[in-house]
């Protein structure tokens, strides 16, 4: 017997609140206040994690699918994020260091969702 798999990307992403920052450093200063760090694979302290795609660095907070309405919308191809913070970051770099610590940047450029989101952010907010 062979298993059947279906992989679906959300047809629509609804972002309920967002903040645009001028730089990754402003984003870090505002979004990572008072958080305790974790150790990376080399035992270096990491204060926070961001995602990068196509020249945009992002911090997202997806809404958990915890009720009937959100399950229905998910099955209809809609995803909800409660919050998104973003800033331009032309070139990818794995670690950003500030006075408050080290921040890991994950390269999400293989994700079609993140590439599409980065393009939309660039076109709507960053190309002016």
- The pLDDT tens digits of the residues spanning 29-64 come to 999 976 666 666 676 788 899 999 999 999 999 999
Task: Determine the straight-line distance between the first and last CA of the chain, rounded to whole angstroms.
Answer: 55
The verdict on pTM exceeding 0.75 is yes
The range of the structural domain enclosing residue 88 comes to 12-126
Q: Which residues of the chain have pLDDT under 50?
A: none
Q: How many domains does the chain have?
A: 1
Q: What is the pLDDT of residue 45?
A: 83
Radius of gyration of the chain from Cα atoms?
Answer: 17
Please count the CA atoms within 13 angstroms of the CA of 40 that sit on its side-chain side: 15
In a domain, 20, yes or no: yes
In a domain, 107, yes or no: yes
In a domain, 84, yes or no: yes
In a domain, 1, yes or no: no
In a domain, 2, yes or no: no
Q: What is the pLDDT of residue 34?
A: 67
């Amino acid at each position: 017997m062979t298993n059947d798999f279906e992989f679906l990307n959300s047809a629509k992403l609804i972002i309920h609140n967002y903040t645009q920052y001028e730089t990754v450093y402003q984003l870090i200063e505002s979004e990572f206040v008072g958080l305790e760090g974790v150790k990376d694979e080399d035992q270096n302290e990491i204060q926070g994690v961001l995602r990068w795609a196509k020249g945009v660095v992002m911090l997202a907070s997806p809404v958990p699918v915890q009720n009937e309405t959100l399950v229905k919308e998910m099955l209809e191809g809609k995803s909800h994020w409660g919050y998104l913070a973003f800033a331009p970051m032309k070139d990818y770099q794995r670690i950003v260091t500030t006075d408050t610590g080290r921040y890991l940047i994950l390269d999400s450029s293989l994700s079609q969702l993140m590439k599409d989101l980065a393009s939309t952010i660039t076109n709507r907010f960053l190309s002016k």
